[in-house]
Structure 1
C-alpha cells in the first residue's frame, strides 16, 4: 500500500510554504506541461497545499486533476464550467431485455424531448424560475456525455445491480457558468494574485458560484430524465459528484479543478472513455488527507489538436471510432468531436483507480461497460421539428397513463 496521506513534497519556493501531495505511483505518466502548470500554481500568492491525482493533465488556467488550497480565491482555477460533475443513475430496465440498436435510436432523440417546466425546481433551489431555464437538460460539447452502461463487475455488497442498466451523465453549468466567469474576467482581468475573501468581488463570485453548482446538478438530473423518457424507464440516483468548484474550509479556500469532491463513505463514478470501462468507487477516510479530492475520470493523454493526427484518418477508422469491443454505439454526428474524444485520447481509468486505491483514498465497487454514448446530434431541422411533435404527443400520453 502507498502512504495513505500522500507523498508530501515541499515546493522549491519554500518562502511560499506550499506543499504538494502527489497521489499517484512513480510509473504513472504525467505530461511535462501539466507539471510546469502545477509548479506555477504552487508559486501563486497565498497558496498553501496542492493535492494532485493520476489523471493530471494540462488545462487553460492551470492543470486539471488537482485540488488547490489557498488563503484566497482563484476563480480561474475552477474555470468557466462551474459545477461540472458526474451523476450516476440506475434504470429500472433489465440488461437481458436490451436491444442496442433500438436503445441508440431512442437516445438519439434525447435533447428533442420537451422537459417539464423547470420553474418550480429552480425556485426550490432558491433561484428564479427562469434562471437560464432554456439550457437545462442539455449536455454541451467537449468531453460531456450521457452514457447507457451495463455493470461489468461489481462487489457483492456494493450499490450496483448487475441485472439493471445504468446512466452516467457528465455535464455542467453550460452558458450560466460561462457567463459568470466571462463577466468576472472582464471586470478583474487575470486575477494572478487572487481575490481576498470578504471583498465584494469574492462575495459576488461565491454567490454566483453556489447558484451554478446547484443549477449544474439539476441539469444532470434533467438530462437523465430526458434519456429515461426516450428509453421508457424510471431512474434512481446513485451518486452526484461535482468536480469543478470551490469550498470554504477552516484552512482556506479549496479549489477543485477536474477533481471530484467527496466525503468519506461517498460513492463516486470515475469515467473511462466511450470504448473503455468506467469505474464506481467509495471514498475512504483518507480522503481528508487529499483535501476531499479524488480523480473524476481517466484524464486526457493527448490534447484535441494532437488527436487529429492519431485517429480517424480514414472513413473506416472513423466508423470504428463509433463502436467498441462490447458492441457499443457512439452517437456523435460531429466528425471532429468523434476523433478528439476517441478512447486513445485518454489514460487508463483502471490504472487511475489503482493509484487511488493504493493510497487508500477509495475502495473499488465495480466497473461499467459503455453501451450507448450520446455526444451530439446534427439532425435536419425540419425532421427535428416533426420528431418533436411526435414525441410530445407520446410523452403527454405516457404522463397521462
Structure 2
C-alpha cells in the first residue's frame, strides 16, 4: 500500500490519514466536516483512529488562524501518555503479587506524599492548588496504567537512542487533568457556550493561562501515578517520554493548532497504544505538515460505550475480559467499564500504525506487549 492510498483529501481543507482498510464511522467524518466550517478554521485533519465525539470528532487536529476553540480541546486538557523504563528484570516479575499491591491506586495520595506532590508541581511549574487532592489519580474512561515488556525491536539504533531495554519492564501511564480540565471547559461553556474566542482577547489570554497550567498539571499527574506505582512495587524507573494529545498550541507563522486525541509529530519519539489486549508501538515521527503535524493517539473506538456493553455482555463473562488474548491481566472491577473498554470495542492498532507508516509519517522503533493493565479496583456497573 502506498502513500497515496493512506492520505485522503476529503475536501479542500479536510485531510484524512487512513487507508481503505481502516473503517471510519460516517458520523466521525460528518463531525470533521462540521468542524472545518467553524469561523476562522483553516484546515482539519483526521487520524486513522478517528471516531465520533459528543459534537466534534476524537482523533483529529484543527488549525485556526486566530481563534481558540476550547470545545475542540475538550474537558480532559493535557491528557497524554508517559512511558517509564523500570529497573525490574522481566524474569523477576510476579504478576499475582503486583495485582494485589496495586489495589491502592484508586485512593488519593496520603499525607506521606505531600513533599513529593509539592516537588513534582514545582518541577512541572503547576500553579493551581485547587485540585491537589486528585494528583496521582488515573481516572475513568480509557485511562490506565500498564506494565509492559518489549516484544519486538524494529530499529535497534533508534531503540538505543532512547535507552530502551528488552530486559526490563516498561510502565505506560495514560491520564490527564481530571477535574481541573473539566472546570476550565465548564467555565468557558457557561460564558461562551461552544463558541470560539479570539486568542489575543482578554478571554483568550485567560483561557490559555488556565489551559497551559492544566497541561502542566496533567504531566505532573502522570509522574505522580508512576511514582506511586514504583513505590508500591518497590521499583525504580527512568522517564523515556511524555506526550500530550489534548491541547491547543501556537503553530508559529500558521495559527492555533488544536489537538483532540492526536499525538504531536513534532516533539520526538511517541508511544501509540492499542486496546488493553493489543501492543503499544514506539515510533519516531517524521516531521511533516501532513496531518497537521499530528499522529493517531491510539487504536480508536470501533463501538460506542453503550454498544460495547450490549454486544459483549451476552458473550463474555467478567472473568473472560480480565485476561487478554496476549495473556495479560486486566485489573478493572467496574463491570460496566470492563465491557466498555474491552479490546473488541477498539480498532486494530496494527492497521492504524500501518496507515501512519504508509503515509510516510513514522518510523517504527519497537512494539511493547502488556502484561498487567490497571484501571480500577472499585466495583460497580452493570
TM-score normalised by structure 1 residue count: 0.87
Q: Per the alignment, do residues 351 and 88 of structure 1 end up closer, same or farther by CA in structure 2, a change over 3 Å counting?
A: same
Contact 1:119 1:130 in 2 (8 A): no
Contact 1:5 1:290 in 2 (8 A): no
* 1:244 counterpart residue number: 246
1:285 is displaced (CA, Å) by 2.7
Question: 2:210, 2:266 → 1: CA distance?
Answer: 23
Q: Which has more strand, going by share of residues?
A: 2
Contact 1:262 1:283 in 2 (8 A): yes
Instruction: Single out whichever of 117-126 and 235-244 deviates more from structure 2.
Output: 117-126
| 1:294 matched to 2:295 | yes
| Residue number among 154, 173, 178 corresponding to 2:177 in the alignment | 173
* 1:270 counterpart residue number: 272
* 1:311 counterpart residue number: 312
* 1:27 counterpart residue number: 21
Q: Please state whether the residue corresponding to 1:80 is helix, strand or coil.
A: coil
1:4 is displaced (CA, Å) by 8.1
Contact 1:61 1:79 in 2 (8 A): no
Structure 1, unpaired ranges of 5+: 12-17, 380-401
Stretches (4+) displaced over 6 A: none
Question: 1:95, 1:256 → 2: CA distance?
Answer: 35
RMSD, aligned CA: 2.0
| 1:217 matched to 2:219 | yes
Question: 1:105, 1:99 → 2: CA distance?
Answer: 10
Q: Per the alignment, do residues 8 and 278 of structure 1 end up closer, same or farther by CA in structure 2, a change over 3 Å counting?
A: closer
1:131 is displaced (CA, Å) by 4.2
Question: 2:143, 2:55 → 1: CA distance?
Answer: 19
1:331-375 residue CA offsets vs partner (Å, 9 max, x unmatched): 111010000000011001111011001111111111111111111
Contact 1:122 1:131 in 2 (8 A): no
Q: Per the alignment, do residues 27 and 125 of structure 1 end up closer, same or farther by CA in structure 2, a change over 3 Å counting?
A: closer
Contact 1:331 1:375 in 2 (8 A): yes
| 1:40 matched to 2:45 | no
TM-score normalised by structure 2 residue count: 0.92
Question: 1:369, 1:342 → 2: CA distance?
Answer: 16
1:143 is displaced (CA, Å) by 0.4
Question: 1:127, 1:352 → 2: CA distance?
Answer: 34
Contact 1:68 1:256 in 2 (8 A): yes
1:238-271 residue CA offsets vs partner (Å, 9 max, x unmatched): 110100000112211111010011316x111111
Contact 1:243 1:260 in 2 (8 A): yes
Q: Please state whether the residue corresponding to 2:290 is helix, strand or coil.
A: helix
Q: Per the alignment, do residues 243 and 4 of structure 1 end up closer, same or farther by CA in structure 2, a change over 3 Å counting?
A: farther
Contact 1:24 1:53 in 2 (8 A): yes
Q: Per the alignment, do residues 226 and 4 of structure 1 end up closer, same or farther by CA in structure 2, a change over 3 Å counting?
A: farther
Contact 1:5 1:289 in 2 (8 A): no
1:133-171 residue CA offsets vs partner (Å, 9 max, x unmatched): 111000000000001111111132214311100111000
Question: 2:287, 2:64 → 1: CA distance?
Answer: 22
